[in-house]
Amino acid sequence: MPENKKYDITPLSDCMTTLLGENGCPWDIKQTHQSIRHNFLEEAHEVVETIDQNDPVHMKEELGDMLLQVFFHCKIAEKNGEFTFEDVVNGITQKLIRRHPHVFGGEKTNDAQEVLKNWEAIKLEEKKREGAEMSIMSKLPPSLPALMRAEKVQEKARRVGFDWQDDTGAWEKIYEELHELKDAVANKTNVSEELGDVLFSVVNIARLVQVDAETALKNSTDKFVRRFKYIESKAREEKHNVSDYTLAQLDNWWNEAKDLEKQ
């Protein structure tokens, strides 16, 4: 493989073909779609982390790792006679053209919400021709993180007009669901279901006030970890374990950690 200053997609394809070929890498050759499934998820999370950290240098690297996973699956599929990388490129290109008639066709719109509404309508028409399930919810992977999936479900419903006009109704729904959760806990019945309804309603508020629920919870969890580590450090200074202290003593250190963050 010659060393170039710049590569197009061909050398990457050739490299993967070599790795999976007769004299290629023994580990790569034995992999399947299922065996490297977790790698794909891991690389996707690492890309997201570079976005959260606003780190374009490492984002470039992680996007490369993500592209490798795409190629890996394509080469495995090609070896199995399923599809090729070219099939994947052709498919997504045709889909983009079909679903942007306001750009590539004769339709005109300058409204982003109208674009999303048209996108969903075109998707449903495609499913109808394919004989697939006729629902805008049918392609939401169950494996998505729960908060993210809830937000996507609500967003899809919004695109076809099934949504609150503003956050007023959503706040009333939260209070209603909290009341039902409190009753469920008291009666020890349907607690999990009612808690789920509360969380779903909270996601609704987040969406309506334009906050990403997944990111908000991640940040709050990170904040808890930082402050708890401070508590641990104070306990170590006194040569004790955290469990040796009362909740009130631990809470004092917690408040110290909060005050330090404000400085």
Q: What is the mean pLDDT of each run of 10 residues along the chain (263 residues)?
A: 73 90 93 93 90 93 95 94 94 89 80 76 73 71 84 88 89 96 96 96 94 91 95 95 95 95 86
Cβ neighbours of residue 161 under 8 Å, at least 6 residues apart?
Answer: none
Quote the CA–CA distance of 218 and 48 in Å, as a whole number: 12
Quote the CA–CA distance of 50 and 60 in Å, as a whole number: 9
Q: Which two tokens stand for residue 153?
A: 């479900």
180 three-class SS = helix
pTM: 0.60
Cα-to-chain-centroid distance, residue 129: 29
So what's the pLDDT on residue 2? 63
So what's the pLDDT on residue 242? 95
So what's the pLDDT on residue 110? 73
So what's the pLDDT on residue 243? 94
117 within 8 A of 111, measured Cβ to Cβ? no
So what's the pLDDT on residue 133? 63
